[in-house]
Chains A and B, each alone.
Chain A
Amino acid sequence: MDSPFALPAIVLVTVVTLAIGAYGVRFARTTSDFLVASRTVSPGWNASAISGEYLSAASFLGVAGLVMKYGADVLWYPVGFTAGYLAMLLYVAAPLRRSGAFTLPDFAEARLGSRRLRLLCAGFVVLIGWLYLVPQLQGAGLTLGTVTGAPYWLGAIVVGVVVTANVATGGMRSITFVQAFQYWLKLTALAVPAFFLLLVWRAGGTDSLTAAEVPVFPTETMVDIQVDVSVNVVEPVSLVADGVIDGTAVDGPLSWAPGRHDIAQGAVLTFPAGAPVPHADQLDTLDNATWGTPLSTGGGHPEFPLFATYSLILATFLGTMGLPHVLVRFYTNPDGRAARRTTLLVLGLLGVFYLVPTVYGALGRLYTPQLLLTGQTDAAVLLLPGAAIGGVGGQLLGALVAAGAFAAFLSTSSGLLVSVAGVLSTDVVGRGSVAAFRRAAAVAGIVPLGLALQVVSLDVSVVVGLAFAVAASTFCPLLVLGIWWRGLTDAGAAAGLLAGGLLSTGAVLITVLGGARGGWLGVLLAQPAALTVPVAFLVMVVVSRLTAARVPVDVGRIMVVLHAPESLGVHRRAG
C-alpha cells in the first residue's frame, strides 16, 4: 500500500492501452477487425488474445480474494472459468462457426427465423454484459482506493467514464494484438511478484500455512476501518483502538472478549504481533487446516456446500458459451483445426494463469490477515507485495500488480462495452449508425456504473459468477438445443429464455441488492444455476413440443449447414 510508483504505473498502463487502441484502429477502421484478423492470426496469438480479453478483474483480484477467505472450495471458480471452454468447444464452437452467425442474436434469428426472438436475445446479451461489467468497475474502485486512498465510488466513476468515453469515440476495439499483449502483461504483473513472495516466504521461515491454526497478525498491524464492520472474536485479543467501537468512543488500549464487536467507519485499530485475527462477521473463522479442506465452506455457504458447489460448477461450465465477448473471438480462427488448437492453448494459458492467484490467496492469510477483519480480501493481490517484501522492491512490485489489475479491467470492460453498445445500437435503438453507437455506449456504461456503486460488499468473483449463472440459464439451452435438436421452435426458445433468464436475473438482483443471505433461500439466490439451468432446458423443450407446428420448414438444411464439415464447401461464402 501507499507505493509512490503505483499511481504513475496505472496512468502509464491506461495511456499505453489507449494509445495502442487508437493506433490499431487505423488498420481496422474499414473492415470488421474480426474478418481481417481471421486471415492472419496464428493460434498462438489468438489464444493469447482470447485469454487476455477473458481474464478480468474477477480473475486477477477476485480469485485470490476468495481463496484467501474460503480456501479449496473456491478453486471451482477458476476451474469452471477454464472448463467452460471445453464445453463450448465440444458442443457449440464448430457448428456456430459454420452457421456464420457472429453474435447470439444473429444465431437465434438465423436458426429460428424470428425477429422477435432476436430482440429478446439482444436484451439478454445487454443484461449479461452489464452484469459482467459491474465487477470490473468494482475492481477499479477497489484498486484506485487501495493504492491512492481515494474513496471507492471515485475510482469506479473515473474508470467507468474513461472506458465509456473511449469506446464511444471509437478508441478501443477488440484488437487481437492489444488483447494478446494484455494477457502477457497480466501474467507478468501477477507472476513476477508471486515469485518474490514465495522466495520471501521460504526465506522467512514463516510456515504458518503448515500448522493448524487461525491466522495471526505477523507483525504489529494498524488497520484503518473504511466501512462499518462487525467482527467475530473467537479468542480474546487485546488491541489499541481509536474510534467508535461497540457504540462508544475509545482512544487507548482495549481488550475484546469472545463475541461480536461493531467497529464504526474511521476507526483505527492496532493489533500486536501474534494476535489472532478477528474475522468479519459474515466469515467463519477458519483454522488453516479447515481452510485447506474441500467442501468445508462451500465458498461462503457452509450449510449447503454440496448444492453451492454443484451450482457453481454448472454456471461456469455452461455459462462461458453464452458470454457476448467470448464467442465472437472464435471467428478469428481461419479454420476448424486452428480453432481447436486455439482452444487447447487457451486452456493451457488460463490454467497457468490461475495457479498464481491461488498462491496470493494462500500467502494473504499470512501477510495481510487484516483483510479477513475488514472482509475486503479482493485487495490481497494489491497489498501483498508491500506487506511481505517491503522497501523499494515491495513498492515496485506493488506498482506492477496495480498496473496489471488496471490492464485487466480496461481490456475486459472495453471488450464488453463494445459488444453491449453494438447490440444496443443495432437491435434496440436505431439502426447501427455511428451516432446511435455513441449514445448506446453512454447508456451501456452508465447502467453498470450505477450497479457497481451498490455492490461494494460483494466479492468481485461472486458477482462475475452471477453473470455466468444468467448466461448458463439463457444462452446455453438456446445454443445446445438450437444446434443439436431439430424440434426447437421460436416460441419454445423464447419461453425457455424468459423462464431461465427471469429466475436467474431475479436471484442475482436480490443478491446484489443485499437480500436474503442464509438458509436454503440464501444459497438458491446466491448460486441459482443448479435450479435455473434445468428449468430453462425443460421449458424450452416442453413449449417447443407444444408448438411443434412452428418448427422451421428448412430445419433440415440448417442442420446440414451446422453439422457438415467446413471442408465440404457448403460453407463457401457467396460472392
Chain B
Amino acid sequence: MHQEVPVTQLTRREISQQDYERIHTSTEFAELRKRFRGFAFPMTVVFLVWYLLYVLMSAYATGFMSTKVLGNINVGLIFGLLQFLSTFVITAMYVRHSNKNTDPLADDLREQLEGKTPDESGTTEKGTTRA
C-alpha cells in the first residue's frame, strides 16, 4: 500500500463530454437520485429523532424511564440496548430499498445508455469481476 501513491479514478478516468451529458440529462439519473434522497433523507430524520427522543425522555420523563421491568433493569436501560437494534433495522431497510428500488433502475439506465454491449472491464452490480 505504502509504496504507491494511488491514482484516483476522478483524476485518471476521463468521462467523455458525451457520456457526461447523456447521464446528466437522463430522466433515469434524476429519478435515481430522487429515489435515494426520498429514502435517505426522511430516514435520517427518523433515526435522529428517535435517538434524540431517547435522550430527551431520559431528561424529562425520568419517572417513565426508570420504571423497573426486572429488578433494576428499567425501561431506560432496555431502550438503550434497543438502539443497537434500531440502528440495525434502519440499515436493513436501506439495504432492501437499494436492492429493490435503485439497483434495477440503475441496470435499466445502463442498458439504455450502453445498448446491450457487455461491459467487459467495468464493475457491475451483477457480480461481474474486474478485468
Which residues from chain A contact B83 at a C-beta distance below 8 Å? Answer: 75, 79, 83
Contact of B107 with A294 in the complex, beta carbons under 8 Å: no
Known: A173-B1, A335-B127. Is A351-B29 also a contact (CB below 8 A)? no
* Contact residue among A72, A100, A344 (Cβ-Cβ distance under 8 Å from B77): A72
- In whole angstroms, how far apart are the Cα atoms of A161 and B79 in the complex? 43
Which residues from chain A contact B62 at a C-beta distance below 8 Å? Answer: 293, 295
Contact of A90 with B44 in the complex, beta carbons under 8 Å: yes
Q: Mark A418-447, 1 if CB is under 8 A from B, else 0.
A: 100110011000001110010000000000
A531 within 8 A of B: no
Interface size class of B (residues with CB under 8 A): 35 or more
Known: A293-B65, A334-B123. Is A343-B91 also a contact (CB below 8 A)? yes
* Contact residue among B55, B72, B123 (Cβ-Cβ distance under 8 Å from A313): B55
Contact of A306 with B55 in the complex, beta carbons under 8 Å: yes
Which residues from chain A contact B1 at a C-beta distance below 8 Å? Answer: 32-34, 173, 418, 422
Most chain A beta carbons < 10 A, residue from B2, B71, B84: B2
- In whole angstroms, how far apart are the Cα atoms of A207 and B54 in the complex? 28
Q: Mark A233-251, 1 if CB is under 8 A from B, else 0.
A: 0000000000000000000
Which residues from chain B contact A426 at a C-beta distance below 8 Å? Answer: 2, 5
- In whole angstroms, how far apart are the Cα atoms of A471 and B106 in the complex? 33
**Which of A143-151, A216-224, A560-568 is near enough to bind chain B?**
A560-568
* Contact residue among A86, A103, A568 (Cβ-Cβ distance under 8 Å from B90): A86
* Contact residue among B52, B76, B87 (Cβ-Cβ distance under 8 Å from A72): B76
- In whole angstroms, how far apart are the Cα atoms of A210 and B71 in the complex? 4
Question: Interface size (A, Cβ < 8 Å)?
Answer: 86
* Contact residue among A79, A90, A558 (Cβ-Cβ distance under 8 Å from B40): A90
Contact of A209 with B71 in the complex, beta carbons under 8 Å: yes
A-B contact count (CB 8 A): 239
- In whole angstroms, how far apart are the Cα atoms of A306 and B57 in the complex? 11
- In whole angstroms, how far apart are the Cα atoms of A385 and B120 in the complex? 57
A348 within 8 A of B: yes
Contact of B2 with A421 in the complex, beta carbons under 8 Å: yes
B130 within 8 A of A: yes
Known: A79-B87, A89-B94, A567-B124. Is A209-B2 also a contact (CB below 8 A)? no
Contact of A110 with B10 in the complex, beta carbons under 8 Å: yes
* Contact residue among B15, B47, B110 (Cβ-Cβ distance under 8 Å from A557): B15
Which residues from chain A contact B127 at a C-beta distance below 8 Å? Answer: 334-335
Which residues from chain B contact A85 at a C-beta distance below 8 Å? Answer: 91
* Contact residue among B3, B4, B43, B81 (Cβ-Cβ distance under 8 Å from A75): B81
Kindly provide the distance from the CB of B26 to the nearest chain A CB, expressed in whole angstroms: 10
Q: Known pairs A75-B77, A421-B2. 5 more at Cβ < 8 A? A: A90-B40, A100-B8, A295-B55, A563-B33, A570-B13
**Can you offer 7 A-B residue contacts whose CB atoms are under 8 A?**
A100-B8, A102-B8, A348-B88, A358-B81, A418-B1, A568-B23, A569-B110
